[in-house]
């Protein structure tokens, strides 16, 4: 998480990033400008929210005339890898999936073989996984397992 996301849009666009996700908590006054600039750099805009932030805070950004295309539900406090997954965040994912059936919904923090089914069945279709993949003896196997769980979850939504 950065506090001044606007400063990073152009550098990341020029570096070739395909997406740019900013925190709703850090963009209360300039999210419309951020989305416009992200798209003008050819990137897909997403908005993230911290565990303590109500899900309603992202609705205006999803329903805007020029909307974000992904919502990232943080399942740990932003800061570092290796934290414990917060299952109570799945309520946010379920609410979003019901309200926006075709929206990309990402989860980030503590995702791995023991938690992926909770996220996938709640409706998440994009997964950020750090330690469960990079700490695995066979990272490809963990990635396959995560992917299979999400594909299975998608069939029920
Ligand atoms: O950057 C963050 C949290 O700030 C996350 O992207 C975590 O780094 C994910 O790591 P794991 O929880 O999967 O280890």
Nearest CA to ligand 1 atom 3: 78
Regions of the chain short of the pLDDT cut 70: none
Query: Which class is 69-157 in CATH?
Result: alpha beta
ipTM value > 0.90: yes
How is residue 49 written in tokens? 């929210």
Q: Where are the domains of the chain?
A: 1-52, 69-157
- In eight-state DSSP terms, residue 135 is T
pLDDT of residue 86: 98
Q: Crossing angle, helix 6-15 and helix 31-40, to 10 degrees?
A: 10
Best residue among 3, 21, 72, 76 to mutate for probing ligand 1's pocket (most ligand atoms within 8 Å of CB) is: 76
Q: How far apart are CA 17 and CA 60, in angstroms?
A: 25
CB of 67 closer than 6 A to ligand 1?
Answer: no
């Amino acid at each position: 998480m950065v506090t001044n996301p606007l400063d990073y849009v152009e550098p990341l666009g020029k570096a070739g990033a395909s997406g740019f996700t900013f925190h709703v908590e850090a963009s209360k006054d300039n999210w419309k400008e951020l989305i416009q600039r992200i798209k003008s750099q050819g990137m897909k805009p997403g908005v993230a929210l911290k565990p303590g932030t109500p899900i309603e805070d992202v609705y205006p950004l999803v329903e805007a005339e020029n909307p974000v295309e992904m919502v990232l539900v943080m399942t740990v406090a932003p800061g570092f890898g290796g934290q414990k997954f917060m299952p109570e965040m799945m309520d946010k994912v379920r609410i979003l999936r019901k309200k926006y059936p075709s929206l990309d919904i990402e989860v980030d923090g503590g995702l791995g073989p023991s938690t992926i089914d909770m996220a996938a069945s709640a409706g998440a279709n994009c997964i950020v996984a750090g330690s469960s993949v990079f700490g695995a003896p066979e990272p490809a196997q963990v990635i396959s397992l995560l992917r299979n769980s999400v594909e299975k979850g998608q069939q029920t939504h």
